[in-house]
Amino acid sequence: MSSNQPSLRSSQIHTRPYSFRDAEYLRQQGIHPVLARLFAARGVKTTADLSTELGNLHKPTGLLHIDQAAQFLADAIGEHKKLMIVADYDCDGATACAVALRGLRLLGADVDFIVPNRFEYGYGLTPEIVDLVVQTTAPSQRPAILITVDNGIASCEGVARAKECGMEVVVTDHHLPAATLPEARVIVNPNQPDCGFPSKHLAGVGVMFYVLLALRAEMRQRGIFDSANQPTLDQLLDLVALGTVADVVRLDANNRILVAQGLKRMRSGRMHAGIAALFRVAGRQPQNATPFDLGFAIGPRLNAAGRMNDMTVGIECLTTDDEGRAWEIAQQLNTLNSERRAKEAEMQDAALLLLDAFQPDDSSTLCVYDESWHQGVIGIVASRLKDRFYRPTITFAPGGDNTIKGSGRSIPGFHLRDALDLVSKYEPDLIQKFGGHAMAAGLTIATHDFARFKAAFERVGQQLLDSVQLERLVETDGPLEDAFYSLDFIQLLEQQVWGQGFPAPTFSDEFRLVSQRVLKDRHLKLLIEKNGQRFDAIWFGHTDNLPARIHVAFRLDANEYHGTTRVQLLVDHIEPVIP
């Protein structure tokens, strides 16, 4: 075992509690007995909570100011004003931009888009982005209205600059606001003060979809459409599902409807050319589409454009109807994703070398910097290191002008943005710029201040975290009955909508270790046995030497090899069974 590989005892397997009464009620309503238990453990009480019908979506009218946004945009379309979408450079921002472009054009708008290059302009509607719009459009072609998607709630200076240049701004966003809101014409954000919308977890793409629903209703009320000839916005749901899953927002009942409806379109072949091309280039089958495909195969390929280059090409992939062009771009995105993965692996290996002497037991936080690292990939590396060491982690890369930029990922119970705020109070001249939320944040500091920041961040970590919070709890659904280690049961699980806040099932049980071997110097291939049944299992990223009896937390997987599909266990965690 390498010196910085977490020990088998650094985590504890914990079984999710559930209401037997709720599970029994669901079972009596016709839900599979294991699914009934899984759903009850996730807070489901009735089959109504599991509905994925569009008619059960929360109504748009619950979103604060959405009626004003609909009226303002309907007026603008009626007056043939030019609109411009200000997008964001991640998957949520790209899908939100595509939904806005496609939806507004369906409703008769003259609309284009701009997306910041993360390395030049940073995040959101900045004064520099407004100036870029002004510089790159002739006065007669200049947009009258800017519409932000997946950003804008913090863009006070950018909105002010747009107004100076004679442009109105509609903010559609889902991020948490600061104390001061931008002076936009309209703000639609479920998380703004006084908004009573029941689901606070819409992704940016979900907010934009709701704005389109409200706009169409307003235009229907004006007699521009009737219910028979109105444009169908359902066709956008594959994009909404992709952005919602990829942004890792909580899959509450409302978001599960959006995702389920998008998956339904994909499975029936009714998806946009770009999404079909991304499935193809990823080697995935859309007729069997799952949230896992969106989060781990399609989303990363789209995100690679924003991380390695420019998200413009990703947005084109989602907005073209030319299948040949979509395939061409999907291959470009696949290449960028391969470059991203290679860069990530290289940076992760370098990080582990830098951390060779790092002892998690002696630290509450983790900070690491290398002058060769890539700004677009540090967030993923931070996430990997956080998973490995279970410490709030910030990785830094050169940011130009004698600065370094950090991207952080946190653990439950440690609000990362608030922690950075505390650092800035202790050391007022240390952090030049920071922002984010509980689980992820970014910041800029002077290159020569890295050691000083690392010490200050550790001081805050020790102040806010105790030893219990620093021990990882591996949440599972307990043992799985022998009869359900089957391909049929795996297929049943894959038909459900799992994700953030509604986690895919992880089971746990004791097994006898039959054999183990290391694959590619990185992964453990196991043969394990329980009640006379033997199973192949794989534990990625681990090379531990395991004892004869082990307690395993695992997910079920259908592994196809040489034309034969068998049940395989994907290991999340292993503890030794103490005799």
Q: 505 is written with which tokens?
A: 């099932």
Rounded to whole angstroms, the Cα distance separating 42 from 94 reads 30
pLDDT for 10 equals: 59
Looking at the fold, whether 419 and 498 belong to one and the same domain comes out as no
Burial 92-126, CB ≥16 within 10 A → b, else e: bbbbbbbbbbbbbebbebebebbbbebeebbbbbb
CA atoms within 13 A on the CB side of 552: 26
Q: Please indicate, yes or no, if residue 201 is contained in any of the structural domains.
A: yes
- Is the per-residue pLDDT at 5 higher than 80? no
Lookup result for tokens 């002076």:
183
Q: Please indicate, yes or no, if residue 188 is contained in any of the structural domains.
A: yes
**Residue 547: which CATH number?**
2.40.50.460
Whole-model pTM? Answer: 0.92
Rg, C-alpha atoms of the chain: 25
Question: What are the angstrom distances between the C-alpha of 480 and each of 34, 225, 486, 540, 575?
Answer: 8, 53, 11, 22, 18
pLDDT for 232 equals: 97
- Is the per-residue pLDDT at 3 higher than 80? no
Q: Which long-range contacts (CB under 8 A, 24 or more apart) does 343-352 make?
A: 343/308, 343/374, 343/377, 344/377, 344/380, 344/381, 344/384, 347/373, 347/374, 347/377, 347/378, 347/381, 347/395, 348/381, 348/384, 348/385, 351/381, 351/385, 351/395, 352/2, 352/4
pLDDT for 116 equals: 86
Mean of pLDDT values over 521-541? 95
- Is the per-residue pLDDT at 436 higher than 80? no
Q: Please indicate, yes or no, if residue 35 is contained in any of the structural domains.
A: no
Q: Please indicate, yes or no, if residue 2 is contained in any of the structural domains.
A: no
Phi, psi for residue 261 in degrees, rounded to 5: -70, -35
Q: 477 is written with which tokens?
A: 């659904």
For the packed helices 204-221 and 91-106, what is the interaxial angle rounded to 10 degrees? 10
Lookup result for tokens 């710029």:
433
**Residue 240: which CATH number?**
3.90.1640.30
Beta-carbon count within 10 A of 562 CB? 4
Mean of pLDDT values over 487-514? 96
Looking at the fold, whether 521 and 565 belong to one and the same domain comes out as yes
Q: Please indicate, yes or no, if residue 3 is contained in any of the structural domains.
A: no
pLDDT band for 9, please (50, 70, 90 cuts).
Answer: very low
Residue 309, SS3? coil
Strand pairing class (82-86; 145-149): parallel
Burial 248-271, CB ≥16 within 10 A → b, else e: bbbbbbbbbbbbbbbbbbbbeeeb
Range of the domain at 366: 355-470
Residue 524, SS3? strand
Judging by beta carbons within 10 Å of its beta carbon (0-12, 13-18, 19+), is residue 80 exposed, middle or buried?
Answer: exposed
Strand pairing class (533-539; 168-172): unpaired
Q: Please name the amino acid found at residue 573.
A: H
- State which of 278, 300, 335 marks the end of a domain: 335
pLDDT for 120 equals: 81
Rounded to whole angstroms, the Cα distance separating 68 from 64 reads 9
- State which of 282, 304, 335 marks the end of a domain: 335
For residues 143 and 137, the answer to whether their CB atoms sit within 8 Å is: yes
pLDDT band for 7, please (50, 70, 90 cuts).
Answer: very low
- Is the per-residue pLDDT at 238 higher than 80? yes
Looking at the fold, whether 566 and 521 belong to one and the same domain comes out as yes
Looking at the fold, whether 143 and 191 belong to one and the same domain comes out as yes
Q: Please indicate, yes or no, if residue 548 is contained in any of the structural domains.
A: yes
**Domain tally, the chain:** 3
Looking at the fold, whether 274 and 152 belong to one and the same domain comes out as yes
Looking at the fold, whether 150 and 268 belong to one and the same domain comes out as yes
Looking at the fold, whether 77 and 112 belong to one and the same domain comes out as yes
pLDDT for 433 equals: 86
Looking at the fold, whether 307 and 393 belong to one and the same domain comes out as no
pLDDT tens-place string over residues 165-214: 999 999 999 988 888 999 999 999 999 999 999 999 999 999 999 999 99
Looking at the fold, whether 493 and 459 belong to one and the same domain comes out as no
Q: Which residues pair with 512 in a beta bridge?
A: 529, 549
Q: What is the DSSP string of 338-364?
A: HHHHHHHHHHHHHHHHHTTT--GGG-S
Closest Cα partner for 551 from 474, 493, 484, 481?
474
Burial 505-517, CB ≥16 within 10 A → b, else e: bbbbbebebeebe
pLDDT for 22 equals: 97
Mean of pLDDT values over 227-238? 96
For residues 529 and 516, the answer to whether their CB atoms sit within 8 Å is: no
Q: Please indicate, yes or no, if residue 73 is contained in any of the structural domains.
A: yes
pLDDT tens-place string over residues 274-299: 999 999 999 999 999 999 999 999 99
Rounded to whole angstroms, the Cα distance separating 543 from 525 reads 9
pLDDT band for 438, please (50, 70, 90 cuts).
Answer: confident
Looking at the fold, whether 374 and 516 belong to one and the same domain comes out as no
**Residue 361: which CATH number?**
3.10.310.30
Q: Please indicate, yes or no, if residue 26 is contained in any of the structural domains.
A: no
Q: 445 is written with which tokens?
A: 């500091």
pLDDT band for 6, please (50, 70, 90 cuts).
Answer: very low
- State which of 307, 335, 363 marks the end of a domain: 335
Q: What is the mean pLDDT of the chain?
A: 94
Looking at the fold, whether 300 and 424 belong to one and the same domain comes out as no
The runs of H, that is alpha helices, within 152-269 are 156-164, 204-221, 237-246, 253-267
pLDDT for 202 equals: 97
Looking at the fold, whether 449 and 536 belong to one and the same domain comes out as no
Share of the chain above pLDDT 90, in %: 87
Q: Please name the amino acid found at residue 415.
A: H
